[in-house]
Structure 1
């Protein structure tokens, strides 16, 4: 109660609350929201990050339509076969909207189940475009991989004045292939040089222990930047080895690197001047909700706690669900609720202002951070170009 009182003390927050959160009456006992996440298994830790944001928003705003909200947890156990079963379970429990899941495969197996049941779902950190493409009942609050590739290419050219780049990626990795392609396309377009990608190296992620050969190729190519769309652990190994070999190019990564563990694993020297894209900067108040989210997070987890992007996105997914329920005026009409979510425009989330496009994907800014003195600081922001958004129909 004290936390909510503190957060609702200013006029700007009151305006936000009256616009997006205030309750409407409906004669149901509770409003049920499904939490479709890996509570166990290999993805448990990542699922917990999303849940942390959901639960924080729930504690701040535990009502919708004048009734208590009930979070209904469904553990997909980091297994796509289990995910299918628990997706059916959520439908049987008559939840109004589903949040999650972490892991593209888990969401993909649930897509048709939710659509047939006319049950809207909001993915949180799930970046696979197939989750929302041609699936009118599935939305997301995180950016697609393609946005990050474009943002990093623009950063390399506009902020680093780079004219040549290298790409290093794991083989048979759909994520790495997709984001590397968008980086390459944008970099070539912006430099006006078809040969701007000086060298491209693919490696077998499961077997690779020594990156010397690939890094020497990059060093000899003279590339000014290296785009490295790999997971945190591989990035740390490559950065350390590049430092030993004297590779002077600047390394660029995606939001997979957005962790304090980057400097810890790679070492301060190897991580210096490394940059990566992310959708959330805890040091920047992009909306009236950003500051409230940070204050609430620190009040719950400690003044030194720094929320990661997954928590901010989990928070935003819940807030959009609550806002859409209240705007729709019912928790029982999935088709009407889907239409309301689809028409989300300039929603002031903790991670930035969110507008959903015709595929249910967010149009929002991308932040590029740079490691300086062991700390990640904001170095560049790519604002989205929204053209005639009011003319785009989201009624699918």
Structure 2
């Protein structure tokens, strides 16, 4: 028995001596074999799942700007440093699967991104299986969140604009009737038209408040007969959900006919190209926008001021694109959920805190999540006055 104990002790000494041979001091030994895990435990990892190269690089970088600005302003959660772990999906679904697995292996607490709904959907399979919550930023396809209880988003789904426009028309303009002109082959137009119709009927309490829905062919160039018929019906409010070129043509022809309508459109109208192409014909047109600095100042003054200041200092531009604001909010939502969960390692607890989010004050609006992980949030409404975008209304998140 004594012989066996002696042999065991000798072997143990040999093993320790071998290990120490690669370390000049005991401190080096301790750092090599023990401190790595301790150091990792002092950092909380958030995954950045974005196309940082490839065809969608430019869009991925906009979301990244928002994430990084938020990280610079709020670098800690639960008293620990937050580390951003980058995963470039290269705008490719096959690569997206590979780097999503990599983020899982690196044990990130939350994933932010990706730009591109299909890239998000691919990654979502791996994040869901690993019980890691993810927050999409501008991916608006309903399947991103409906296919996974672990996926949320900061942008509203495209059709949500119809709800905000119906609220504006009824609550702000006192409209009791409205009409819709849309491309019959455009699914995007159909989705917004349907949510506008449903909400407007609910608000007015009148099943006939949508006086007429006119579908047109994408090749149609003359809309005068449609405009005359709507004018004869006494309609003053018209929702346009087709392509920008079609909407401009319709408003130009209304002006030629001397007909006065309130034209409502989508966030696609919020570009300099639309302003230049539409000229005086689009004056007074109204549409929602994901981010407007004037409206944002009313949501969360201190954070919004810090966000705008940081953006201007870093990029030298006055107004950040919507994707930057949404990326900023995605990071804030992530660390807020981690803080409330009291853990960075229990993905299910973090997911539950995200799902319970109510009236979170972000720079893109007050955010609550519905049962699908989609945001119920305030929406800024803009009009065009003297060739400029002007904020005129905020549709608050009281949709039910």
TM-score by length of 1: 0.78
Query: Which residue does 2:191 correspond to in 1?
Result: 178
Query: Which residue does 2:200 correspond to in 1?
Result: 187
Choose which of 289, 292, 316 in structure 2 pairs with 1:281. Answer: 292
Alignment map for 1:86-125 (pairs within 5 Å): 86-125=99-138
Query: Which residue does 2:314 correspond to in 1?
Result: 300
Q: Evaluate the alpha carbon distance shift between residue 162 and residue 381 of structure 1 in structure 2; reply closer, same or farther with a 3 A threshold.
A: same
1:129 lines up with 2:142 in the alignment: yes
The 8 Å contact of residues 51 and 60 in structure 2, kept in 1 or not, is answered as yes
1:211 lines up with 2:224 in the alignment: no
1:167 lines up with 2:166 in the alignment: no
State how far apart, in whole Å, the 1-side matches of 2:182 and 2:63 are.
27
Choose which of 75, 82, 86 in structure 2 pairs with 1:62. Answer: 75
Query: Which residue does 1:14 correspond to in 2?
Result: none
State how far apart, in whole Å, the 1-side matches of 2:94 and 2:216 are.
30
Query: Which residue does 1:226 correspond to in 2?
Result: 238
Q: Secondary structure of the residue that 1:176 maps to in structure 2?
A: helix
Query: Which residue does 1:50 correspond to in 2?
Result: 63
1:316 shift after superposition: 0.4
* 277-286 vs 115-124, greater mean Cα deviation: 277-286
Q: Evaluate the alpha carbon distance shift between residue 96 and residue 188 of structure 1 in structure 2; reply closer, same or farther with a 3 A threshold.
A: same
The 8 Å contact of residues 37 and 101 in structure 1, kept in 2 or not, is answered as yes
Query: Which residue does 2:210 correspond to in 1?
Result: 197
Query: Which residue does 1:384 correspond to in 2?
Result: 397
Deviations 1:201-233 (CA, angstroms, capped at 9, x unpaired): 44555xx3x431x45313332242221234556
The 8 Å contact of residues 166 and 218 in structure 1, kept in 2 or not, is answered as no
State how far apart, in whole Å, the 1-side matches of 2:276 and 2:60 are.
22
1:306 shift after superposition: 0.8
Structure whose alpha-carbon radius of gyration is higher: 2
Q: Secondary structure of the residue that 1:39 maps to in structure 2?
A: coil
Q: Evaluate the alpha carbon distance shift between residue 140 and residue 31 of structure 1 in structure 2; reply closer, same or farther with a 3 A threshold.
A: same
Q: Secondary structure of the residue that 1:126 maps to in structure 2?
A: coil
Matched residues, number: 356
State how far apart, in whole Å, the 2-side matches of 1:244 and 1:105 are.
43
* Higher-helix-fraction structure: 2
Q: Evaluate the alpha carbon distance shift between residue 217 and residue 132 of structure 1 in structure 2; reply closer, same or farther with a 3 A threshold.
A: same
Query: Which residue does 1:138 correspond to in 2?
Result: 151
The Cα RMSD (Å) is 3.0
Q: Which runs of 5+ in 1 are unaligned?
A: 1-24, 388-396
Alignment map for 1:239-318 (pairs within 5 Å): 239-240=251-252, 243=255, 248-267=260-279, 269-284=280-295, 285=297, 286-287=299-300, 288-302=302-316, 305-318=318-331
TM-score by length of 2: 0.78
* 165-174 vs 313-322, greater mean Cα deviation: 165-174
Q: Evaluate the alpha carbon distance shift between residue 189 and residue 30 of structure 1 in structure 2; reply closer, same or farther with a 3 A threshold.
A: closer
Q: Secondary structure of the residue that 2:46 maps to in structure 1?
A: strand
State how far apart, in whole Å, the 1-side matches of 2:99 and 2:245 are.
31
State how far apart, in whole Å, the 2-side matches of 1:329 and 1:27 are.
17
The 8 Å contact of residues 365 and 379 in structure 2, kept in 1 or not, is answered as no
Q: Which runs of 5+ in 2 are unaligned?
A: 1-37
State how far apart, in whole Å, the 1-side matches of 2:304 and 2:94 are.
37
Deviations 1:131-189 (CA, angstroms, capped at 9, x unpaired): 22362101112223443212211222333343443323334443322221011122234
